[in-house]
Amino acid sequence: MKYILLLLFSTSLLASEQEALQAIKSLGTNLKKELQKAMKISKVNAVKTCNVKAMAIAKEASKKGIEVGRVSTKNRNPNNFPKEWMKPYIEKFHKKEIKDPYVVISLPNGKKGLLKPIATMPMCLNCHGTKIDADVMEEIKKHYPNDKAIGYKVGDIRGFFWAEYKE
Ligand code: HEC
């Protein structure tokens, strides 16, 4: 009995590539849903929502031993700067040397690392584009004085979803 419980416990902390992809997908879907809801009130309001909710949503998605989040080399939130293992792959994605939709890497700590580019869509330009409303920019600067996440065009890679998990 003890052995079975132990087995159940340990397998529940293991995850497959598909589950990691699913966790990333649900992070993206939930973020977009919250963003769209907040944008209906106002763009300025949406900046606040993103600020408060992004972390909570990432935590919510980080289940079953799968950790997920978003990063960018031109990051808005200082916590979203890429980790060491991500950097070479991010560079290759930006140079279009990697054409796969995502990569899975074996990390030195025995875990798997998954990295998937996030494309810039028209709606993203409201807060990441080249012409951002003054009141929106002011709100962004208030929360993120070191913001680097502007100047994007539709189709640019805005950043990456990442996951770390034990297979
Ligand atoms: C209403 C403004 C707003 C809109 C619209 C918006 N974002 Fe953001 N974005 C933010 C804010 C604020 C953050 C920082 C969130 C945080 O604190 O984690 C952020 C962070 C990010 C990050 C994490 C990396 C970083 O720079 O910190 C990515 C990736 C990202 N956004 C992509 C997108 C994409 C893709 C779209 C369009 C689908 C989009 N955003 C639309 C405001 C916005």
Task: Report the pLDDT value the prediction gives residue 15, as an integer from 0 to 100.
Answer: 84
Report whether residue 77 contacts ligand 1, using a CB cutoff of 6 Å. Answer: yes
The DSSP symbol for 82 reads P
Task: Report the pLDDT value the prediction gives residue 11, as an integer from 0 to 100.
Answer: 53
Task: Report the pLDDT value the prediction gives residue 136, as an integer from 0 to 100.
Answer: 97
This prediction has a pTM of: 0.91
Give 133's contacts (C-beta < 8 A, 6+ positions apart). Answer: 43, 126
Positive or negative, the CA dihedral 156, 72, 112, 62 is negative
Query: Does residue 25 lie in a domain region?
Result: yes
Q: Which of 80, 138, 146, 154 to mutate to test the pocket of ligand 1 (most atoms within 8 A of CB)?
A: 80
User: How many domains does the chain fold into?
Assistant: 1
Query: Does residue 108 lie in a domain region?
Result: yes
Query: Does residue 10 lie in a domain region?
Result: no
Task: Report the pLDDT value the prediction gives residue 12, as an integer from 0 to 100.
Answer: 59
Task: Report the pLDDT value the prediction gives residue 59, as an integer from 0 to 100.
Answer: 78
Query: Does residue 8 lie in a domain region?
Result: no
Query: Does residue 65 lie in a domain region?
Result: yes
Residues of the chain with pLDDT under 70: 1-12, 50, 52, 63
Query: Does residue 66 lie in a domain region?
Result: yes
Task: Report the pLDDT value the prediction gives residue 105, as an integer from 0 to 100.
Answer: 97
Give the domain range for residue 128.
15-165
Helix (H) or strand (E) holding 72: none
Query: Does residue 63 lie in a domain region?
Result: yes
Query: Does residue 2 lie in a domain region?
Result: no
Compute, in angstroms, the gap from residue 2 CA to the centroid of ligand 1: 46
